[in-house]
Amino acid sequence: MTLTEFYDTIGGDYGGTVARFMGEERVMRFALKFENDPSFDKLCEALENGNVSEAFIAAHTLKGVCQNLGFDGLYKVASEITEILRAGKTDLGDRMDDLKAKYGVVITAIKSLKENQ
């Protein structure tokens, strides 16, 4: 999988990200590190434990990382969850299911991207 195909697969912003990072090589390096980012796991754990403040921090961090990397689909859902948690609410409706699905797509695409390295 090429980097362009990766961004098409995840519904991301290839052009904007490459411009912001000033080249594909840097985008590739940081995109491949995403699967090691603990924010998603911390969010899930904090929600499981009912810790809204930790869940907010994890969601906010995930949102920022996704925005920076141009992972637009995942960013959008992480942003919605962040705002719900910011308000102190824990009823996320189906947004966590959406987040998990989009996160899975990104992780699977990263693994495919790594295979072509």
CATH of the domain at 77: 1.20.120.160
DSSP helix/strand/coil, 50: coil
- The average confidence (pLDDT) of the chain is 96
Q: What is the pLDDT of residues 71-103, one digit of tens each?
A: 999 999 999 999 999 999 988 989 999 999 999
Domain ranges, residue 54: 3-115
Q: How many domains does the chain fold into?
A: 1
84, 86, 92, 103 from 107: Cα distances, Å:
25, 26, 22, 6
Angle at 51 between CA 46 and CA 54, to 5 degrees: 65
Q: Residue 90: what pLDDT?
A: 87
The C-alpha atoms of residue 72 and residue 23 are separated, in whole angstroms, by: 19
DSSP helix/strand/coil, 81: helix
Q: What is the pLDDT of residues 60-71, one digit of tens each?
A: 999 999 999 999
